[in-house]
A and B are shown apart, each in its own frame.
Chain A
Amino acid sequence: MFEYLLSQLVSPVFWQLIASGVAVGMIYGVIAFGYQLTFATSKTLNFGQGEALMLGALVGLTVAPYTSYWLMLPVVAAFGLLQGSVVERLGVRQAIKIKSEAGWIMATIALGIIFKNLAENIWGRDDLKFPPPISEKPLSFHGVNVLPMELVIVAGAIIMMLLIELFNRRSIYGKAVVATSNDRDAAGLMGINTGLVITFSYALSSLTAAIAGVLVAPVTLTGATMGSALGLKAFAVAIIGGLSSGFGVVVGGLILGITETLTGYYFSTGYKDVPGLLLLLAVLSIKPSGLFGKSAIKKV
């Protein structure tokens, strides 16, 4: 048994599985990062985050033929900002105002379903092929085959999260976001329009999901239902990593992505979701605030 495990560690297949696990995990991480952005400012989150990803991918698919994959990214980003603002205005703002514990949960789920139906009517129910922007020929590192698009996913996800961190740490508007997360009333006393900050965090959260959508679309199928499972798994990731930690959700994403691909290969694809969900249950019972979380999650 032990020798078998050891032999696997040096086999290219194992490392190839790790590589695709990392790519999938980064997508989970980015979506979970989006959950964390809105949770920080408002203690609420968008349960339609998977649908934001799906809409981003489909808008990208529609726009790309007119420009190029790379020029389409800003269009998708702008669309994400708009879509996130709509979710906050329609689904969340009122619930926060009346301090409703459950209103925003139902409202964001409802909006997610509406977005999915909308997408089915516009783009159809069939899965579509997203033309990849770069070669689909795998690159080989010492016998380990990696898809170029997987590298783009990892790089894109990291760049996006670093840019947001940089914005939060360096710009006065980013500091206003952190201040709102720290203490909303005190941020108001600084002259910060904290309602607008919350709208902005929703917009930013949907932007990251929409970009994640166009990053992941070339390696998966693109269609109205592509976001549902991703959104749910990313939610598990956010709980595992801790909703208060941007770093934690990335680690959580990687853990889930890697366990999925390994289980799928060594056991059965039918069981690939099980280890991640077992980990979720373990985290909830042992450290409910998440592996890297600072405080207990009260509202979810």
Chain B
Amino acid sequence: MLQVENLIAGYGKVQVLQSISLNVAKGQLVTLIGSNGAGKTTTLRAISGMITPESGTIMLGGDNIAGLSTHQITRRGMAHSPEGRRVFPTLTVADNLELGAFPRLTGARPRGEVKADIERMIALFPRLGERRQQLAGTLSGGEQQMLAMARALMLQPEVLLLDEPSMGLAPRLVEEVFSTIARLKREKITMLLVEQFAAAALDVADYGYVLENGRISVHGPAAELKASPAVRAAYLGAAH
């Protein structure tokens, strides 16, 4: 579904990604782990067009989307729940969800049942239901994270990019976020998950890539990566 090949990207003269290749098959949950500054967020930003890649190809369902602008990539079915949540603070929870379906409401993607989907999102994240008419800026960090994920799902995406959905959340909420991700996986939503909690991410994922200084150092089925001594030592906090 999503194939990235030899992706080189960065900010201005600073090249962050040296040459990244990765593959997310339809219905799969793939995770990208690595230490801070390895280039995880940059990878997602390059895929969704928030930064323009220097070179490389990004194939989404057979089309190369590298070089397109963000809104064009979104309209092709790439949803991105970005780092820092980035909900629209002066709009209500309901309006934020509706905007997630903007391409569907404006004819750029099949419309489907937007209202019913909002209800489904509220069933998935009941807390958002209680806050429906509240401004998104007044939500707690955990609620904003749920809203950001729900908003991205409102696109009915081909691929969902999740950037650090657990960041800054209390342990109980981290668990909740991961159980939601597991549920989305059961619903066969294609996902690329960037996480700081490598162990939890590998537990839920089908396949994993380890990013080190802008390069993929190891990749393999999630269970194998979790068992690998090198990965355990570097990212899973295991004692030698």
Contact between A185 and B90, CB atoms less than 8 A apart? no
Contact between B74 and A186, CB atoms less than 8 A apart? no
| B211, chain A: closest CB distance, angstroms | 22
Which residues of chain A come closer than 8 Å to B26, judged between CB atoms?
Answer: none
A176 interfacial contact with B, CB 8 Å: yes
| B217, chain A: closest CB distance, angstroms | 29
In the complex where A182-B89, A186-B82, A189-B82 touch, is A172 in contact with B106 (Cβ < 8 A)?
yes
B219 interfacial contact with A, CB 8 Å: no
| B100, chain A: closest CB distance, angstroms | 6
Question: Interface segment, B91-99, B117-125, B191-199, B201-209?
Answer: B91-99
Q: How far is the CA of A178 from the CA of B50 in the complex (A)?
A: 19
| A19, chain B: closest CB distance, angstroms | 35
Which residues of chain A come closer than 8 Å to B103, judged between CB atoms?
Answer: 190-191
Which residues of chain B come closer than 8 Å to A190, judged between CB atoms?
Answer: 71, 74, 99-100, 102-103, 151
Chain A contacts with B in 244-293, Cβ cutoff 8 A:
none
Output the nearest chain A residue to B81 by Cβ-Cβ distance.
A189
Output the nearest chain B residue to A172 by Cβ-Cβ distance.
B105
Contact between B71 and A183, CB atoms less than 8 A apart? no
Contact between A183 and B102, CB atoms less than 8 A apart? no
Which residues of chain A come closer than 8 Å to B90, judged between CB atoms?
Answer: 178, 181-182
Size band of the interface chain A makes with B: 10 to 19
Contact with A along B112-156 (1 / 0, CB 8 A): 000000000000000000000000000000000000000110010
B70 interfacial contact with A, CB 8 Å: yes
Contact between B50 and A185, CB atoms less than 8 A apart? yes
Size band of the interface chain B makes with A: 20 to 34
Q: How far is the CA of A182 from the CA of B99 in the complex (A)?
A: 13
Contact with A along B75-92 (1 / 0, CB 8 A): 100011010001111110
A188 interfacial contact with B, CB 8 Å: yes
A193 interfacial contact with B, CB 8 Å: yes
B69 interfacial contact with A, CB 8 Å: yes
A201 interfacial contact with B, CB 8 Å: no
Contact between B86 and A178, CB atoms less than 8 A apart? no
In the complex where A185-B50, A185-B70, A189-B48 touch, is A178 in contact with B75 (Cβ < 8 A)?
no
Contact between A189 and B74, CB atoms less than 8 A apart? yes
Instruction: Identify which of B48, B70, B100 gathers the most chain A CB atoms within 10 Å of its CB.
Output: B70
Residues of B bordering A, CB below 8 Å: 48-50, 69-71, 74-75, 79-80, 82, 86-91, 95, 98-100, 102-103, 105-106, 108-109, 151-152, 155
